[in-house]
Chain A
């Protein structure tokens, strides 16, 4: 049986396919002004028997196509537990939301913390700052890594920080240093959030921002702990949703007949 997890984020839609018990592939793309149509378009490439939606836009599929849904919290927990069995803490910096999730020994969510409604400490914050420095996200991360020094941003609010960035540039502060300061501010915010939960040795860093190794290094240093990061970390929610679709089917007593994962591109 084929299980599809669809994570409808504010910026990207991510899909993961599980065939029988094995993760066989991912796909995804940018979200558009018509998220539902975009979802269906992406889903057409990965036909599945069962679908589970998660993420910011999960209700879209639930309402339109009667698809089961779970929150990002549960999906990230499940996805992280699949990649790193036994992990007890998951950190996810997404487009809109940043969350820290505590799991119990069986992989169930025990407690979680999420940023408040503002953009401070989220992927959105980094995105806005990168744009005001005139860099793409990847370039931004690379340049921040090359910073010799760091300045300090005094504002956490995306709007104020943006004008602060502009004025720092005008004062001749190297853009690399400003980029590093932006990441520092996100790292500090995330650390404060994480401090509200009991942290275990191994912390999984999932979500799109996990690709940013400078940010990851800052968080590791703040927490004094190693972060476990997997390639394609941004698919963790989709992977979790796919496995949750499978868990659900098993619970309902479905027969998991064998099939191949043909036609899947990673």
Chain B
């Protein structure tokens, strides 16, 4: 992958060097085969290629150095984790979700075999000594979204000793709102204890501004995908969304905006990554952590193009902005909490906003069909698929249930290809 030797750093972080070398090998092969093989990529993707090639290199070194300079590193697994508050405390916030099938055997010593792939992977990455990010964190924030995660964090805390769990309500009524507000306030205290300094109004304004700017750049990217032909492949857009979880937010925003400038030119010139009229798909459901590129790769290898992700690695992460108009820290925290409660995660009941949001997105992106993607054993999204499908009557809809393995690749390909044939 990278040309520099980071071995001493990895060693210092306590990674298992053999396992780790294996992981990087697989990752770079997959990246070459899936990403670099694409035709007609925008120049602006070079930055993201670079970020991936340095995912365990430069970025790790950067975080390591920031940490030595006294900044705190916070890892999270969910878009409800208030990144704004971490930034307000001059911390670094990174998404930890792991998207590969590694360390599964180790993970299964602690959690049931039929846990979702995401949970197995975050446990597995830690247990197999593969994730430098986990090792660099000072605090890991969990949330009570689904039962699998909720219980796995108990074990994860035993293994890492740094898990802080936020209790996310499962209903959005007044009681739920109060609960969440209290949890955001409690998180502020945890951050203050961690840094030893009180959160300031200025800091919070800065945090909200930085995260909102990132969300705006991602919104802009999403709007550019409305064009036919699509100026950017779904694979590349997915990558940008995935990278948004662990790159430096200010730099990321600038690079994403640069990419958007180029895409604007493409749209104006009618240039795309596929022929005009290629079937346009919206992928909806469970999140897809790096390097989970399976569905997008199959769809785009079969002549379709993914034009949107109704997912936490996608719209759910950036659709709504936090209100920047506040005059006290408390008010700011309330605005942040309120924004996160607009997220339509399937862990909520009822979650009536989601089908409406999907319908609107589908229309805006001019999607021809919806692929409802759920990780195997991800009960919230698997069950909610029914409501989504019935409320979208008339829109071609395909349910997929899968994990990170390649075992079902052939069958998945048949299904996705048949779905695309159907839309042609």
Contact = CB atoms under 8 A, between A and B. Distances in A.
A117 B408 contact: yes
Contacts of B39: none
Contacts of A74: 418, 421-422
B420 to A, nearest CB: 9
Contacts of A97: 411, 414
Nearest to A114: B415
A255 interface: no
A110 interface: yes
Given A114-B415, A116-B401, A56 B410 contact: yes
A72 interface: yes
Interface in B366-424: 396-397, 401, 407-408, 410-411, 414-415, 417-418, 421-422
Contacts of B418: 71-74, 109, 112
A72 B410 CA distance: 12
Q: Is the interface of B mostly helix, strand, loop or mixed?
A: helix
B414 A71 contact: yes
A70 B418 CA distance: 8
A110 B414 contact: no
Contacts of A221: none
A108 interface: yes
Contacts of A71: 414, 417-418, 421
Contact of A70 (B397, B401, B408, B421): B421
B334 to A, nearest CB: 44
A121 to B, nearest CB: 13
A188 B397 CA distance: 25
A238 B211 CA distance: 55
Contacts of A112: 418, 422
A100 to B, nearest CB: 12
Contact of A117 (B396, B397, B407): B407
Contacts of A72: 414, 418
Interface string A51-73: 00000100000000000001111
B414 A114 contact: yes
A108 B422 contact: yes
Nearest to A196: B399
Contacts of B411: 96-97, 114, 117
A117 B408 CA distance: 6
A67 B422 CA distance: 20
A102 to B, nearest CB: 10
A72 B413 CA distance: 11
Contacts of A108: 422
Interface of A: 56, 70-74, 96-97, 108-112, 114, 116-117
15 contacts: A56-B414, A70-B421, A71-B417, A71-B418, A72-B418, A73-B415, A73-B421, A97-B411, A97-B414, A109-B418, A109-B422, A112-B418, A114-B415, A117-B407, A117-B411
